[in-house]
Amino acid sequence: MEKKEMSKQWYSSPVEHVKICTRRATPALFAITMGTGAVSSLFEAYPYGADSQPMRIFCLILFFLDLCLFTLFCLLVIGKYVCYPEKWTTLFDNPVTSLYAGTFPMGGTTLINVAVLVVHGRYNIGGKGFLYFIWAMWWLDIVVAFMCCWIGVHVMFTHQKHSMSSMTAMWLLPVVTLIVGATSGAIIAKALLQYSDTYAFNTLVVSTFMCTVGLTLALMILTIYLARLIVHGLPTGGSILSVFLPLGPTGQAGFAIMLLGEGYAQLLPQHIQGVGSISNPATGIIIDIVCTCISFVLWSVATMWIIYALLALRSSLRRNVITFRVSFWGLVFPNAVYANLTIAIGKTFDSTAFRVFGAIYAAATLVLWASIFIRSIWELRAFFAVRKISDHTSIPEIDELPVVGFQPSPDASHPDLQQHLA
- Read out DSSP for 46-77? -TTTTTSHHHHHHHHHHHHHHHHHHHHHHHHH
Kindly report whether the peptide bond that precedes residue 269 is cis, defined as omega within 30 degrees of 0: yes
Q: Distance (Å, rounded) from C-alpha 343 to C-alpha 349?
A: 10
Q: Which amino acid type is present at position 370?
A: A
Residue spans of the domains in the chain: they are 8-421
Task: Determine contact, residues 407/398, Cβ cutoff 8 Å.
Answer: no
Task: Determine contact, residues 39/336, Cβ cutoff 8 Å.
Answer: yes
Q: Report how far Cα 56 is from the mean position of its chain's Cα atoms.
A: 22
- DSSP-assigned letters across all residues of 101-146: GGHHHHHHHHHHHHIIIIIITTT--SHHHHHHHHHHHHHHHHHHHH
Task: Determine contact, residues 237/322, Cβ cutoff 8 Å.
Answer: yes
Top-level class of domain 8-421: mainly alpha
Three-state secondary-structure class, residue 301: helix
Q: Tens place of pLDDT for every residue, the chain, 422 residues?
A: 444 444 444 445 667 777 777 887 888 889 999 999 999 999 999 999 888 889 999 999 999 999 999 999 999 999 888 888 888 878 888 888 888 999 999 999 999 999 999 999 888 888 899 999 999 999 999 999 999 999 999 988 888 888 888 888 889 999 999 999 999 999 999 999 999 999 999 999 999 999 999 999 999 999 999 999 999 988 877 778 889 999 999 999 999 999 999 999 998 876 666 555 666 778 889 999 999 999 999 999 999 999 999 999 888 888 888 888 777 898 999 999 999 999 999 999 999 999 999 999 999 999 999 999 998 888 776 655 554 444 444 434 334 444 444 333 333 333 333 333 33
